[in-house]
Structure 1
Amino acid sequence: MEIKNIRIRSNLAEVYADIYTPEVLELLSSLAHHNAPIKELMAERLRLRAERQALGARIHFLDETGYIPGTHIKIQDARDGNFEGSEIPPDLRRQWIQGTGPAAKPGVPLEKSIRNVAYALLSGADGWMFDGEDALGQIQTMSLDNQRNLKLAIGGAPIFTQVAKKVAEEMNQWSLGFLGCGIVEDWEAQLGFTTKIFRPRGLHLDDRHVCHTDGSGMAASIVDLTLYVVNNYKKLQENGSSIVLYLPKIQTAREAALWNELISDLENNLQLSLGTIKVYVLVEQLEATFQLMEIRAVLGKHFVGFNTGRWDYINSVSDAMAWDNDFINPNIDNITMTYGYMANYEDRVRRAVNTPDVNGNFALWQGGMEPNIPVGSVDGVATSMAKAIAGAEREQRAGASGKWVAHWKMVNIVRPVWGKIQAENQLGWDFPPLTYTDEDAKGLTQLAAAPITIRGARDLLSVALQYGNAFGQGMQAAALKPADFFGNDDVLYLMEDMATGEIRVSILWEWVHKGAQLTEDDDQSSVKAGAIFSPDLFLKLLDDEYGKLLNADDKDVYASSKQTTLPISREIVEAYVLSSTKFPWFIDLFNINIDNTNLEIAKKRIALFMEAFEADGTRITHNLDA
């Protein structure tokens, strides 16, 4: 279907007429002019990345005497808080726990798929970030199923309320056994408790179903933003709810300004006052940490807070430092929020949100992800839950107004940490103002002594392979653990999304191409401390871990995947890690293989992508099947 300057592939406009409404199509067409600036900015992002890699240049702070690129805002004004930000709306003032996850499941009927939304809204979470990005599968039409489920749930459709009633009974049955009490007293009232939040895809991704009439790709950010807001803003406002987004993968204030232009344009088209749509920014990129106040300033009345997500941020630091042979991350388990550069990153975020704007408004700080799921042996669950609570207590003491959890069962385990202090939030803590020195810059890439081991490599490889396999089946959020712990209920499964896959292969790339030295002997082989993590060692471990997955039972690796998506995952992991070129996004190699289960086709697509990027930095982001 074509309408003015956009095209929707095959018959999806008819099949999803409830999502591609006339109003949505009109707004998509109206906002399509933002696509060219997005593409230009993404090309500039890659150009600067390549320049830094070639010159061995570090990211630096902006010149305080200048203006934020693409705006008329002075950089010093932004840093001083001399801009008008947003008051925190009532339904965002208390966000002790925000859950995260998609609103749809792959390959199941609507009644089963929409259960995801019911679990979220009955969980007792103060907010739920329904994901359109890292945790949402993209096979078939999952991005549209996600939007449909949200529209049905927010609109209170009978099919959703019927499902929610049944889900509430199941949740209470679990909580009576685990917590000793029910967690849903009045399921109908509970559905209105949780603030609905949506995460669109980042500026660097294209939509699979919408493109320009000339065939060029359409930024997924435009599509996701338009579909979610236009389909739900009236009902949200009728219910007294804010329209709230989480903006991902922003690297610079200029990119944030582009988001601001896009959102403001949408508000204007819908005759909403400026600042009606509220946004959190996920601080997932190293460069963003150099421009936190600038990002706040350009988003102005839209901005309500930052989130310190762990996994994407580690990956961005690894990618930004790919040129530096002395920068080598350790085992992933050691890169906690108190590790070297992570502690400095968190400290800058909390200082930025506690800097008042011109009206004295502060911003929210939402802490990072808790990936645990309370399923396993009694001892295993007890140990993991103690660590989860300790992590939440540390963030609360540091000044966070709340944190994320990746599974609804964790909400009532972690939420009491903030319940004990009772304060709605922790706005306005007294921290020193941000400074912009060379020492500050060095701290954002500061390493710390930590092990690099064969055990760590096996864990990186096993989860990366499993994650790629899950992605190919439409599960971009999956409960995983290293294969050596299959069948061991003392080691819990953790919820993983694309970000955890990204960082695992980035660390492996570092170890292979920078000649990482192992810090400990391996008891299971002849590899000794001081040995270099060579390509040959990587390939041997890859064979080992892949073999374990082939021999795993259906609980951990579906038999049907072993001849389809698992071999493709292996091919992508091997190609990414061994390539002398460090590719910026692991997800690119999976996106070009969505709905493909043929290994030979996958090999051709991987080669096509690598050749294009190595030739001139071109990322293939459009749907190769369209």
Structure 2
Amino acid sequence: MSAVLNQIPQAEFDAGIDVTGRVQGQQALLTPAALAFLAGLHRAFEPARQARLAARQARQQAFDAGALPQFRADTAHLRAGDWTVTPAPAALRDRRVEITGPVDPKMVINALNSGANCYMADFEDSTSPTWANLITGQQALRAAISGDLVHEANGKRYELRPQAEQAVLIVRPRGWHLDEKHVLVDGRRMSAALFDAGLFCFHNAKALAERDRGPYLYLPKLESMEEAALWGQVLDDIEARLGLPHGQIRVTVLIETLPAAFEMDEILYALKDRIVGLNCGRWDYIFSYIKTLRRHPDRVLPERGQVTMTQPFLRAYSELLIQTCHRRGAHAMGGMAAQIPIRDDAAANAAALARVRADKLREVTAGHDGTWVAHPGLIAVAREVFDARMPGPNQLDNRREDVHVEAADLLQPCLGTITRAGFENNVEVCVRYLAAWLDGNGCVPIHHLMEDAATAEIARAQLWQWLHFPELGGGLLHLDDGTPVDFALLERALIALPGRLRAEPGLPGIARVSEAIGLLDRLTHAETLAPFLTLPAYERLD
């Protein structure tokens, strides 16, 4: 325990709270009042969270036994009803370009200064949840909201523009499935979602409310309306504890799981007093399709590069989201452009920007109200496309009544192949990302794409499903050149990887490549697909 932390009398803390993480300066965030606030959230909602996680597991067991996701019969009246959500606050009526990234001080400053309409500060897929990263991120956001955030590195000084020129801040806490192992309440780990959202709101909600800036949250990884309703209860409780009016905290929900795509109306209804929109979290959605249907050999996807948003099952998902949102008066946000500028190759950079432009044109033409980028260099391209096709702040009047999506449309597998390059790229992305994540970096550029946990999960889940395809009843898969997709192919790819990676100067996480290879090897050999790569990896952090 640090000398500074030892100066805090232990008697000031709730006896049931134990903070095991140690970072210089954390006592300014984790005050006795803040810890009591977090403990109250845990005690009030941990049983319901565990019940919802158990319901997820039971539903997945049904899918593994052959069932398929369907629209719910017990909520048909909600889908048929004529209701709308509470209109968006003024700050969130125009969200045509949102930038997303981790919560380190430099990223926070650059994102808020980027010229994007909104910045999603991400404690989830693009942040490796080391204790230092989490506390530093909370400190950075608190300083940014107070106007005091400054960062100095490599002889440069980063400062915030005036608040009127900054992007609107939206915070994404971690999902319901994750624990925060550094905070124990009554001997049990706290929910990571409650820790992230609770600590942020405790310190910043009143200041943001006074400026009509929320707080605003992005809610990830939901699988059902009951999980959305649980968030509603949590936010009601936070508002009551902090003396905020009901509905002050506004949310956007990522539809990034296959089960949630069948409950979009229901999720909007469960949060209708505070929800602003839904987002097409495309990469996690592809991962969830693989994971949910992992034991359905007739629904195996080709390599990731061929699973684009023009594939029928993804187009159906996108168009249903737009139709559902606009019918209910909510924003329909598009997905992430993962490309990053290529500074040393003009031709390759032009090709990458052309792909971004085409993707954003598809989104705005379909009726999306805004889109995501991962790099400030893509903001101008995305804005140009949306400005040309969306002169107003959004497209809520585009009801897309031409869309007719059935359950089979959302489940339709896509045709394609597995190339040697595609297989080996999955292996490389998994290992490189996991090594960097274990080293504390959750947002990693690989081959001119910004990879995060969602894209690594696609690669990892595909490898497991392809390698276990024979036992799923599908026979042996082959690459397009006839090579069997088996564990020998995986072993050859893993053996060749370390030498090639060590030849790259400055590779993030290079010291943990062997550890990442070992973890990927165990996960792919496991009889059952692990629900999340980050669950076993988290135990190795700090």
* TM-score (norm: length of structure 2): 0.92
Q: Does the aligned pair in 2 maintain the 1:454–1:518 contact within 8 Å?
A: no
User: Which AA in structure 1 matches 2:34?
Assistant: V
Give 2:395's aligned residue: 426
Q: What's the Cα RMSD here?
A: 2.3
CA distance in 1, matches of 2:260, 2:88: 22
Q: What is the TM-score when the length of structure 1 is the normalising length?
A: 0.80
* Secondary structure of the structure 2 residue equivalent to 1:444: helix
What does residue 301 of structure 1 align with?
273
Per-residue deviation, residues 558-579 of structure 1 (Å, max 9, x unmatched): 6xx34xx111110111111121
Match for 2:396: what amino acid? L
| CA distance in 2: counterparts of 1:127 and 1:224, whole angstroms | 19
1:8 matched to 2:18? The reply is yes
Confirm or deny: 8 A CA contact 2:150 2:158 kept in the other structure: no
Provide the residue aligned with 2:236 in structure 1: 264
Contact between 1:122 and 1:191, CA under 8 Å: does it hold in 2?
A: no
Q: 1:546 to 1:511 in 2, by over 3 A?
A: farther
Change (3 A) 1:11 1:119: closer
Letter aligned with residue 447 of structure 1: P
Determine the structure 2 residue equivalent to 1:88.
88
Deviation at residue 19 of structure 1 after TM alignment: 1.4
Alpha carbons of structure 1 residues 254 and 387: separation in structure 2 relative to 1, 3 Å: same
The residue that corresponds to 1:510 in the other structure is 465
2:425 maps to what in 1? 459
Q: Does 1:50 align with 2:61?
A: yes
Counterpart-to-counterpart distance in 2, 1:326 and 1:159: 53
Equivalent residue, structure 2, for 1:372: 339
Q: What corresponds to 2:440 in structure 1?
A: 474
Cα distance in structure 2, aligned partners of 1:556 and 1:546: 11
* CA apart distance, 1:518: 3.0
Is residue 99–residue 408 contact of structure 1 (8 Å, CA) maintained in 2? yes
- Kindly provide the CA deviation profile for residues 212-270 of structure 1, in whole angstroms up to 9, marking residues without a partner as x: 12x21211111111111111112212333121100000001111111111111111111
How many Å separate the matches in 1 of 2:136 and 2:213?
23
| Contact 1:458–1:545 (Cα < 8 Å) also in 2 | no
For the 8 Å contact 1:115–1:164, the answer to whether it is kept is no
Note closer, same or farther for the CA distance 1:188–1:14 as it changes in structure 2 (3 Å cut).
Answer: closer
Residues 117-132 of structure 1: matches in 2 within 5 Å? 117-132=108-123
- Which residue of 484, 493, 497 corresponds with 1:541? 493
Residues 152 and 160, structure 1, Cα contact 8 Å, conserved in 2:
no
Shift of 1:441: 1.5
Instruction: Provide the secondary structure at the position in 1 that maps to 2:273.
Output: helix
User: Deviation per CA, 1:160-204, whole angstroms, max 9, x where unpaired?
Assistant: 699999447xxxxxxxxxxxxxxxxxx633664310000000000
1:466 counterpart SS class = helix
Q: What does residue 20 of structure 1 align with?
A: 30
1:247 maps to 2:219: yes
- 1:141 aligned to 2:132? yes
| In structure 2, distance between residues paired with 1:87 and 1:199 | 21
C-alpha separation in 2, matches of 1:394 and 1:349: 14
Is the 2:151–2:158 contact (alpha carbons within 8 Å) kept by the matching residues of 1?
no
Q: Which amino acid aligns with 1:327?
A: R
Distance 1:242 1:380, change over 3 A: same
* C-alpha contact (below 8 Å) 1:77/1:83 kept by paired residues: no
Secondary structure of 1:322's aligned partner: coil
Distance 1:212 1:158 in 2: 31
Cα distance in 2, alignment partners of residues 162 and 593 from structure 1:
28
Q: Choose from 19, 41, 54 the match for 1:31.
A: 41
* Structure 1 Cα separation of the partners of residues 276 and 21 of structure 2: 39
CA deviation vs aligned residue, 1:522-547 (integer Å, no higher than 9, x gap): xxxxxx2xx43112222222222343
Partner of 1:555: 506
2:385 to 402, 413, 417: 417
Counterpart in the other structure of 1:279? 251
Structure 2: distance between partners of 1:326 and 1:11: 46
Shift of 1:117: 1.2
Q: Is the 8 A contact 2:131 2:182 kept in 1?
A: no
How far apart in 2 are the matches of 1:447 and 1:192?
A: 45
Going from structure 1 to structure 2, the CA distance change for 1:557 and 1:201 (only over 3 Å counts) comes to: closer
- Please give the alpha-carbon distance, in whole angstroms, between the structure 2 residues aligned to 1:582 and 1:324: 13
Q: How far is the alpha carbon of 1:23 from its aligned partner?
A: 3.8
- 2:353 match: 385
SS at match of 1:337: coil
* Secondary structure in 1 matching 2:161: helix
Shift of the 498–191 alpha-carbon distance from structure 1 to 2, 3 Å rule, reads farther
- How many Å separate the matches in 1 of 2:37 and 2:362? 44
Counterpart pick for 1:571 among 518, 523, 538: 518
Q: Is 1:41 equivalent to 2:52 in the alignment? A: yes
Q: Structure 2 vs 1, CA of residues 160 and 21 (structure 1 numbering), >3 Å: closer, same or farther? A: farther
Q: Distance in 2 between matches of 1:353 and 1:27?
A: 34
Contact 1:355 / 1:433 at 8 angstroms: preserved in 2? no
| Distance (Å, rounded) in 1 between the aligned partners of 2:21 and 2:356 | 46
Does 1:593 find its partner at 2:540?
yes
Measured at CA, do residues 352 and 5 of structure 1 come closer, stay the same or move farther in structure 2, by a change above 3 Å?
farther
Contact 2:14 2:32 in 1 (8 A): no
Equivalent position amino acid for 2:109 in 1: A
1:60: which partner in 2? 70
Moved more, 422-431 or 199-208: 422-431
Aligned letter for 1:124?
G
